[in-house]
Amino acid sequence: MQENPQWRGKADTAYEQLRADIEDGLLEPGRELPETELVEYTGASRTPVREAVRRLAAEGLVDLLPRRAPTVSRISLRSARALFDYRRLLEPESIRLVAGRVADAPELNKAITALLSRFEAMSDLPYSDELSLTFREATAEFDSVLASNTPNQYLGRSIQDLRPHSARLRHIAHSDRRRIREATLEHIRMCRAVLDGDGEDAARAMFEHLEHVEAAIFSRLLSGDAELLVS
């Protein structure tokens, strides 16, 4: 049976919308997603919505249980810990490799320079919802630039595959307003190390950044956000 391109496009759009809203915490862990609600939420019909939910379930972002509506997956402390253990293996090495090639990659240099300027511009701003959104957008672009410019394609792809899970955990960490300023300064350090071609300092800065993000996430989860956790 030949696939309907229009149906596929609607499924892709619904999937991207739902994944982005799960990553940003607009669809919080534990929230039920009845099909009728999703149809209204996305503006897609039932078949594209079902395909979008199936893809989200395959990525571990939605739980499918018999005789129950799909549910945004809660966070397992064990899986969160494993995710950060894995990120500490991948991302310091990625940024080290990127720093090693920045001198011979003008477009990469330009992208990191622009990101540095964005982080510096927000470093002294008081907290606001607008700042939080601006910061999330800048960090998402930073991650994308690193992953897409990592010389090892398998390493870059592995980091990209982790993005949905990393993004929603990052959202939890940055609910602490103080953490946004700290993370901004950490990104400034990483950008400067990359531009200096100092791969070792860039890797250290990334490792320390991941340590701090993990600590912020576990502090919040263990101090009062049990509804986000797997029961």
* DSSP line for 56-83: HHHTTSEE--TTS--EEPPBPHHHHHHH
Classify domain 77-228 at the CATH topology level. Answer: Four Helix Bundle (Hemerythrin (Met), subunit A) (1.20.120)
- Check whether 171 has a pLDDT greater than 90: no
Of 33, 38, 29, nearest in space to 11 by CA: 38
Q: Which of 74-88, 90-104, 136-150, 214-228 has the lowest mean pLDDT?
A: 214-228
pLDDT attached to residue 231? 43
How far is it between the farthest Cα atoms of the chain? 58
Distances in Å between the Cα of 216 and the Cα atoms of 15, 152, 169, 179, 188 are 29, 30, 10, 8, 19
CA angle 155, 88, 167 (to 5 degrees): 80
pLDDT attached to residue 2? 43
pLDDT attached to residue 7? 56
Are 95 and 146 spatial neighbours (Cβ–Cβ below 8 Å)?
yes
Instruction: Please indicate whether residue 224 or residue 205 has the higher confidence score (pLDDT).
Output: 205
Say which residues have a Cβ less than 8 Å from residue 141's Cβ, sequence separation at least 6: 115
Alpha-helical runs (H) found in the chain = 5-23, 35-42, 46-58, 77-101, 106-122, 129-149, 153-173, 177-195, 199-222
Task: Name the pLDDT band for 48 (thresholds 50, 70, 90).
Answer: very high
High-pLDDT (> 90) share of the chain, %: 66
Of 179, 177, 95, nearest in space to 142 by CA: 95
pLDDT attached to residue 222? 76
Distances in Å between the Cα of 230 and the Cα atoms of 30, 71, 80, 221 are 9, 12, 11, 11
- Check whether 224 has a pLDDT greater than 70: no
pLDDT attached to residue 1? 37
Mind listing the pLDDT tens digit for each residue in 173-207?
Answer: 666 678 899 999 999 999 999 999 999 999 999 99
- Check whether 159 has a pLDDT greater than 80: yes
- Check whether 88 has a pLDDT greater than 80: yes
What 8-state DSSP symbol labels residue 16?
H
CATH of domain 5-72: 1.10.10.10
Buried b (16+ CB within 10 A) or exposed e, 28-37: bbbeebeeee
Task: Round the average pLDDT of the chain to a whole number and report it.
Answer: 89
Domain definitions of the chain by residue range? 5-72, 77-228
- Rounded mean pLDDT, 87-93: 97
The listed range with the strongest mean pLDDT (3-17, 136-150, 186-200) is: 186-200
Task: Name the pLDDT band for 227 (thresholds 50, 70, 90).
Answer: low
The CA distance from 168 to 26, in Å, is 10
Of 137, 112, 105, nearest in space to 194 by CA: 112
